[in-house]
Amino acid sequence: MEQIITRFPPSPTGYLHVGGARTAIFNWLYARHMQGKFVLRIEDTDAERSTQASVDAIFEALNWLGIDWDEGPYFQSQRFDIYRGYIQKLVDSGQAYYCTCSVEQIDAMRQKAMSTGAKPRYDGTCRDKGLTSPDNAVVRFKAPPTGTTVVEDVIKGNIVFQNDELDDFVICRSDGTPTYNFVVVVDDITMHINTIIRGDDHVMNTPKQILLYKALGSPLPTFGHVPMVLGNDRARLSKRHGAMSVTAYRDMGFLPDAMINYLVRLGWSHGDQEFFTRAELIEVFDLANIGRSAGVFDLEKLQALNAEHIMAASPGDLVAPLKPFMDKAGVDIEPGNYIDQVIETLQPRSKTLADMAAAALFYYVDDIVYDEKAAQKFLKAAALEPLRLLADKLGALADYTPSGLEDVFKAVMDETDLKLGKIAQPVRVALTGRTASPGIFEIIAIMGKDRVLPRLQKAIQFIEEGQD
């Protein structure tokens, strides 16, 4: 069986957006599933709009997602000699020709066609003139005037185009730069791409490309056009739907495996399964289960799936991605038992790494700031006795484990005749500044006496000063 070779060819005119990332993921997954090759190509022939910053942003996004490539990156701007050679091949074989018609002449042709109800098109004025490389000429492909071109699409099914609607399209501009449809075909031929998975906004380009493949005597690749990603209002995804750069989702605290999982599920299914690890996706991904309906991007669903991936990860694997968020908060974390324990308590409560970082701060800060409403409700006179008793008993405790701590709380409950909630909530506010946190025994065990006792004493003093 022929080795599967896919490709991802972004244009460096901006960031890598959600739709482009999904296309990259589909091609990468299929290549990995089939033990084939994945090629990265930068389509930078638009010199005015292409920037190095955009190239860097694309690399950054792909690296964050963990999408690696086997060949490339190739840059179209460095391949003009190859394109010129293929243009000359088509001219020499009589399948392309030079055209000197002016812009005004072509506009007149199109107006004349529309006046008769036909589609605006070039009328073939220079088709049979046999011009030989005149100055300021374009090169046109000699398209068949009759018949049909069929796109055999593995996702959409067969799509039939009438050749008389295609006209003799330009493959090289008058300034010598080749056009998109031409360079794409040459690139895919020379890079041996045999499977093309791309957005369905490219469907209209495909018949022209098929004609070029045939003219160049090359076998056709497998085509699959993926429906677009829409917003939750069923409109084309845009910034108002949250369609930001892929790295913006990284900066919001999403995990790359969750992002890949979510984007794949926007247009592909494997039974009713929603949660996939990267390894599972590579194992089961195929083209047959890519759907024909547009995917609807929903940030809340992405957050829910991200929470599942956070929960499924080992704490140690979350340290590195969490670190930038902790750094931003002014807290330096290092791999080790303490941060692993902190993360483990926060995994069930975190939709994003940003959530986790915000919730983790109380484990590290020297001075807890109390939420005003929490302090008013729980740090009051009734809490003084249990807080003092707890501080004394914890100070003398040797078995500083969750079970040992539970025994201390039971002793305080017995002495004060209070239920756990009446004790635990003032302690929670004293230790974290908030009314919601991981389990009270867990956080006391993790933080240790050196952090816990000063915070209890501060809360005691806060209540005492409030009574003066």
Q: Give the whole-angstrom CA distance, residue 54 versus residue 46.
A: 13
The mean per-residue pLDDT over the stretch 321-330 comes to 97
Residue 323 to residues 183, 253, 349, 367: CA-CA distances in angstroms? 43, 11, 18, 21
| DSSP-based three-state secondary structure for 468 | coil
pTM: 0.92
- DSSP, res 272: T
Residue of 255, 351, 346, 362 whose CA lies nearest to 301 = 351
Cα dist from 433 to 72, 82, 155, whole Å: 52, 66, 55
Residue 459: which of 407, 360, 390, 361 has the closest Cα? 390
Active-site residue, 208 included = no
CA distance 213 to 221: 9
Nearest in space to 406 (alpha carbons), one of 426, 429, 384, 424: 424
> What is the residue whose two structure tokens read 């790295």?
247
Name the nearest CA neighbour of 279 among 29, 23, 35, 39: 29
**What pLDDT, in 10s, does the model give residues 38-94?**
999 999 988 889 999 999 999 999 999 999 999 999 999 999 999 999 999 999 999
- Which pLDDT tens digit goes with each residue over 131-180? 998 888 999 999 999 999 999 999 999 999 999 888 999 999 999 999 99
Q: Which of 112, 156, 239, 422 is catalytic?
A: 239
Q: Could you give the domains of the chain? A: 80-225 (3.40.50.620), 239-312 (1.10.1160.10), 314-358 (1.10.8), 366-467 (1.10.10.350)
Mean pLDDT of the chain: 94
- Tens digit of each residue's pLDDT (9 = 90 or more) over 265-314: 999 999 999 999 999 999 999 999 999 999 899 999 999 999 999 999 99
